[in-house]
Amino acid sequence: MLNVNIICHGTLKEKYLRDAVGEYSKRLGAYCKLNIFEAKDDDALAALVSARSKDYNIALCIEGKMVDSEEFARIINDVPMMGYSGIGLVIGGSDGLPESIKAMCKYRLSFSRMTFPHQLMRVILLEQIYRGF
């Protein structure tokens, strides 16, 4: 079973977002081992990404490659065939990800040229992962 690690800057304070994350986490339990790691600042975020350097880490950033849901599903499903037991998806804070953290990732992904609140991005990402499985 694939390890899916969501590595996030900040914590979710809003109950409706925590509820949505909880629902998708429950649904994803049938398909993968989901872990959500929260970092209080960029240094802690970098440490979490570094600790998972053997995962196929993907930085979510506006300048990344835009893919549709089917291509994103292929990326997720190809990770084990590339020799990785886990995938890490890294969400930055309100200022995005520092270049140093992006450089630690093997792929850069953009969900849109628009900017989304990083708290909401966690829910959007989980929905797409669920759809991918």
Distance of CA 30 to the CA centre of its chain: 18
pTM of the model: 0.94
pLDDT attached to residue 71: 96
115: left (phi over 0), alpha (psi -120 to 50) or beta: beta
The residues with which 91 forms a beta bridge, in sequence order, are 8, 60
Is residue 36 a contact partner of residue 74, using CB atoms and an 8 Å limit? Answer: no
pLDDT average, residue stretch 89-96: 92
* Res 116 pLDDT > 90: no
Share of the chain above pLDDT 90, in %: 89
